[in-house]
Chain A
Amino acid sequence: MAPSLSKLLRTAATTAKPPSWNGLRAACTRSISSESYSDKTTITVETNLPFTTHQCEPPSRIVETTPAELMKFYADMFTMRRMEIAADSLYKSKLIRGFCHLYDGQEAVCTGMEAALTRKDCIITAYRDHCLFYGRGGTLLEVFAELMGRKDGCSHGKGGSMHFYKKENGFYGGHGIVGAQVPLGCGLAFAQKYSKAEAVTFALYGDGAANQGQLFEALNMSALWNLPAVLVCENNHYGMGTAEWRAAKSPAYYKRGDYAPGLKVDGMDVFAVKQAAKFAKEHALKNGPIILEMDTYRYHGHSMSDPGSTYRTRDEISGVRQERDPIERVRKLVLAHNIATPAELKDIEKEAKKEVDDAIALAKECSLPDSSELFSHVYVKGFGTEAFGADRKELKGLLP
Chain B
Amino acid sequence: MWGALQQKSGLATLVSSLKHGQVLERLVPMAFTPSRKLSTAAKEMTVRDALNSAIDEEMSADPKVFLMGEEVGEYQGAYKISKGLLQKFGPDRVLDTPITEAGFTGIGVGAAYYGLRPIVEFMTFNFAMQAIDQIINSAAKTNYMSAGQISVPIVFRGPNGAAAGVGAQHSHCYAAWYGSCPGLKVLTPYSAEDSRGLMKAAIRDPDPVIFLENELLYGESFPVSAECLDPSFCLPIGKAKIEREGKDVTITAFSKMVGYALQAAQELEKEGISAEVINLRSIRPLDRATINASVRKTSRLVTVEEGFPQHGIGAEICASVVEESFEYLDAPVERITGADVPMPYAANLERLAVPQVEDIVHASKRACYRAVPMSAVV
- A-side residues, CB < 8 A to B, are 97-99, 149-151, 155-163, 175-179, 208-209, 211-214, 239-242, 246-248, 310-311, 368-369, 371, 373-375, 378, 387-395
Question: B355 interface residue, CB < 8 Å from A?
Answer: yes
A208 x B363 contact (CB < 8 A) = no
A384 CB to closest chain B CB, in angstroms?
14
Nearest residue in A to B359 (C-beta to C-beta)?
A: A391
A245-B103 Cα distance, complex, nearest whole Å? 18
A97 x B96 contact (CB < 8 A) = no
Known A-B contacts A177-B126, A374-B349, A395-B352; A213 and B100 likewise in contact (beta carbons under 8 Å)? yes
Question: B285 interface residue, CB < 8 Å from A?
Answer: no
A98 x B99 contact (CB < 8 A) = no
A235 CB to closest chain B CB, in angstroms?
14
Chain A residues, CB < 8 A from B70: 240, 242
A149-B82 Cα distance, complex, nearest whole Å? 33
A99 x B352 contact (CB < 8 A) = no
Known A-B contacts A240-B75, A392-B309; A213 and B102 likewise in contact (beta carbons under 8 Å)? yes
Known A-B contacts A374-B341, A374-B352; A310 and B75 likewise in contact (beta carbons under 8 Å)? yes
A128-B170 Cα distance, complex, nearest whole Å? 15
Known A-B contacts A99-B170, A176-B167; A368 and B99 likewise in contact (beta carbons under 8 Å)? no
Give the contact stretch, choosing among B158-166, B177-185, B200-208. B158-166
Chain B residues, CB < 8 A from A214: 130
Chain A residues, CB < 8 A from B344: 157-158, 369, 373-374
Question: B346 interface residue, CB < 8 Å from A?
Answer: yes
Give the contact stretch, choosing among B148-156, B245-253, B330-338. B330-338
Question: B348 interface residue, CB < 8 Å from A?
Answer: yes
A149 x B99 contact (CB < 8 A) = no
A374-B347 Cα distance, complex, nearest whole Å? 11
A102 CB to closest chain B CB, in angstroms?
16
Contact of B71 among A161, A209, A242 (CB under 8 A): A242
A389-B344 Cα distance, complex, nearest whole Å? 12
B98 x A247 contact (CB < 8 A) = yes
Chain B residues, CB < 8 A from A176: 126, 167-170
Contact of A160 among B96, B126, B167, B341 (CB under 8 A): B167
A311 x B167 contact (CB < 8 A) = no
Known A-B contacts A247-B99, A388-B340; A99 and B166 likewise in contact (beta carbons under 8 Å)? yes
Chain A residues, CB < 8 A from B165: 97-99, 149, 160
B340 x A387 contact (CB < 8 A) = yes
Question: B37 interface residue, CB < 8 Å from A?
Answer: no
B127 x A99 contact (CB < 8 A) = no
A158 x B349 contact (CB < 8 A) = yes
Chain A residues, CB < 8 A from B102: 213
A310 CB to closest chain B CB, in angstroms?
7
Nearest residue in A to B348 (C-beta to C-beta)?
A: A368
Chain B residues, CB < 8 A from A175: 169
Question: B141 interface residue, CB < 8 Å from A?
Answer: no
A373 x B75 contact (CB < 8 A) = no
Question: B321 interface residue, CB < 8 Å from A?
Answer: no
A99-B170 Cα distance, complex, nearest whole Å? 10
B341 x A311 contact (CB < 8 A) = no
B103 x A213 contact (CB < 8 A) = yes
Contact of B127 among A177, A247, A248, A387 (CB under 8 A): A177
Question: B288 interface residue, CB < 8 Å from A?
Answer: no
A288-B183 Cα distance, complex, nearest whole Å? 44
B99 x A311 contact (CB < 8 A) = no
Sample of 14 A–B contacts (CB below 8 Å): A99-B170, A149-B345, A150-B346, A158-B168, A159-B168, A160-B165, A163-B168, A163-B345, A175-B169, A240-B78, A242-B70, A392-B309, A392-B335, A395-B352
Nearest residue in B to A158 (C-beta to C-beta)?
A: B344
Query: B93-113 CB contact bits vs A (8 Å, 1 = yes)?
Result: 000101110110000000000
Chain A residues, CB < 8 A from B167: 98-99, 159-163, 176
Chain B residues, CB < 8 A from A390: 336-339, 352-356, 359
B335 x A242 contact (CB < 8 A) = no
